[in-house]
Structure 1
Amino acid sequence: MFDEEHSADAVAASFAATPDPRLREILTALVRHAHAFVKDVGLTGEEWAAGIRFLTETGQHCDATRQEFILLSDVLGVSMLVETIGNRSVGGSTESTVEGPFHLVASPPRALGESIAVVADGEPCLVTGSVVDTGGRPVAGARIDVWQADADGFYDVQRPQTVPQQNLRGLFTADGDGRFWFRTIVPRFYPIPTDGPVGELLGATARHPYRAAHIHVEVSAPGVRTLTTHLFVDGSPYLDSDAVFGVKESLVRVFETTDDIALAERYQMPNPFRRVDFPIVVRPEGSSVGSG
């Protein structure tokens, strides 16, 4: 029988015959935490109805290029917590962070050194780096998927009528020594979308919607764990208050101004230009998670 004191026990018992033990564990814990939350805040019927309306509207704002539920998970810090627990740094491996809601368009394959800026407004920037495993061995042929906001703080999918699709996106293949390089522009900080339920939530809680300037980087290769991370611009606003809690100190880099005619000619850059190097260390597939 159901009563207030034993409500979670009654519902949890209904999952006792669930064949999948992990599903049973998750649902049981979810019910216990949810019931404890309701009791802790003394949730009213009107408040619960408002919560259901909020979740319904969140789902209604999802489409092929907009994932409001990911955005909600991001601003609540859940995305970062799940990512951090599942990808703790081991053996000096590069720290991970959230994929974000804008990795919904496939990045076009590009040759090493090619520019990802179809629309080149902004400060020219050269990104170089290398991919090695935790044993220091180069990961030849690693795939480096990158995407970023433009100089105005928008992704291509946010302005499909004025910006070419796949602008500031690229899929590169590292050389035999695990090295990669490409041309781009310095990204700008930007607000996450605020025209939906998540934006209303931020407004109601007096939180700003801004993300620190960054380039998304996803690295994959046979035999290593896929790494999703960011390359943050040192000095960007909001590094200490990123709206989705995505900043980790080890991922912040100086995008230095370089005045070097020979280097500019080598990489087909205007002179002077901004430059950043991002060495990446990935974990072998099947390596233990570790503790920090």
Structure 2
Amino acid sequence: MKDLTTENITENVHAINSQCQNPRTRYIFERLVSHLHDFARETRLSTDEWMTGLDFLTDVGTISTDLRREMILLSDTLGLSALVDSIDHPRTGKSTEGTVLGPFHTHDAKEVENGYAIHKDPDGTPLLVLCTVKDTEGNPLGDVQIDVWEGDSHGNYDVQYPERDGPDGRGILFSEQDGSFWFKAVKPVSYPIPMDGPVFNMLQMLGRHPNRPGHVHFLLKKDSFDPLITALYPRGDPYESSDPVFGVKESLIVDLLEVTDPEMAKKYDVKEGTSLLTYDFVLVSTRETLKLRKEKAEEAIKKMGRSMEDFQGLPILDVD
């Protein structure tokens, strides 16, 4: 590795990295290094710009904690999270589309019964969320674990409050045998991404607004089915067509209703006139997902004029 130049350094890095024994890892790093080096050559990256980028990534890592995931937020705002979700979790026409996890998911939500009020927010507009879960054949799915979370009426998640002493606006439910689950929440409102961090500064530099449309997050899991990370967005939010994390999809925009039937209000222990969100989630089996993932990979790679090998269900393309 002597006499390295701008033209031969890439192949030298590949040669050193080729000692990696895992084919998929070796392939990922081969492509990563190639694209990084090509980016530097194409943009004629200056030392000052390179250092600015490194400082930015350092700041993203420094501000991140278990409760604040700035690195996820960076991935979200660059569209990478949405892209990876679409690639790794392909959906059939019958199934519910996924979206970004976001930076505010935690692992301390409590298991609660159906009908539980996930919020302590006294200022929020009450919302009854009434949903079902089925497979792609229309069969109800019981015992699905549903992790739900949302911000409060002020546009903040519980983890954004310094005095947080436990989870709020969160809960883990399980669907009944008929596939139904329900809980009480507050009507979601639009809110900005955290404005005290490097990702917000990046958006400002790019002339982008930081405001996400109001939504409720859902993470559904059941054995033999592909996990579904998604969210529902009440229609009419001013930011639904310019979400800074690229999470909104037309199939996930919902029209809010109202509880008008006295019997329904009594059954779910809410007042008449309470806002109502209903949705039928459809999960894809693991087998269907693996088949779809392989088909879509082969289709995409064929368009690139490349060939591929399969390694533990993941593709390894031929190297340029």
Find the counterpart in structure 1 of residue 8 from structure 2: 6
The answer to whether the aligner puts 1:201 opposite 2:202 as a matched pair is yes
The answer to whether the aligner puts 1:40 opposite 2:42 as a matched pair is yes
Find the counterpart in structure 1 of residue 212 from structure 2: 211
Corresponding letter in the other structure for 1:255: L
| Counterpart Cα distance in 1 of 2:148 and 2:130 | 12
Residues 227-267 of structure 1: CA distance to partner in whole angstroms, max 9, x if unpaired?
11001111112111101001111011011233333321221
Find the counterpart in structure 2 of residue 271 from structure 1: 272
State the shift of 1:90 in Å: 1.8
Find the counterpart in structure 1 of residue 311 from structure 2: none
Corresponding letter in the other structure for 2:267: R
| Counterpart Cα distance in 1 of 2:68 and 2:20 | 34
Corresponding letter in the other structure for 1:125: L
RMSD: 1.5
Tell me if structure 1 keeps the 8 A contact 2:89–2:226.
no
The secondary structure found in structure 2 opposite 1:279 is: strand
Find the counterpart in structure 2 of residue 133 from structure 1: 135
Tell me if structure 2 keeps the 8 A contact 1:120–1:185.
no
More helix by share: 2
Residues 104-135 of structure 1: CA distance to partner in whole angstroms, max 9, x if unpaired?
24221111112112224211111111111112
Residues 209-243 of structure 1: CA distance to partner in whole angstroms, max 9, x if unpaired?
11111000011112211111001111112111101
| Counterpart Cα distance in 1 of 2:141 and 2:16 | 49
Percent identical residues: 37
Question: After superposition, where does 1:98-113 map in structure 2 within 5 Å?
Answer: 98-113=100-115
| Counterpart Cα distance in 2 of 1:46 and 1:114 | 53
Find the counterpart in structure 2 of residue 23 from structure 1: 25
The secondary structure found in structure 1 opposite 2:287 is: coil
| Counterpart Cα distance in 2 of 1:129 and 1:277 | 5
The secondary structure found in structure 2 opposite 1:52 is: helix
TM-score, normalised with respect to structure 2: 0.87
State the shift of 1:62 in Å: 1.0
| Counterpart Cα distance in 1 of 2:51 and 2:219 | 39
Unaligned runs of 5+ in 2: 300-320
| Counterpart Cα distance in 2 of 1:200 and 1:114 | 38
Find the counterpart in structure 2 of residue 156 from structure 1: 158
Question: After superposition, where does 1:159-174 map in structure 2 within 5 Å?
Answer: 159-161=161-163, 165-174=166-175
Residues 160-201 of structure 1: CA distance to partner in whole angstroms, max 9, x if unpaired?
42x663211111111111111111111111111121111111
The answer to whether the aligner puts 1:220 opposite 2:198 as a matched pair is no
| Counterpart Cα distance in 1 of 2:65 and 2:201 | 19
Find the counterpart in structure 2 of residue 50 from structure 1: 52
Find the counterpart in structure 2 of residue 90 from structure 1: 92
The answer to whether the aligner puts 1:241 opposite 2:246 as a matched pair is no
Tell me if structure 1 keeps the 8 A contact 2:147–2:219.
yes
TM-score, normalised with respect to structure 1: 0.95
| Counterpart Cα distance in 2 of 1:121 and 1:64 | 28
| Counterpart Cα distance in 1 of 2:218 and 2:108 | 13
| Counterpart Cα distance in 2 of 1:6 and 1:136 | 57
Unaligned runs of 5+ in 1: none
Tell me if structure 2 keeps the 8 A contact 1:124–1:270.
no
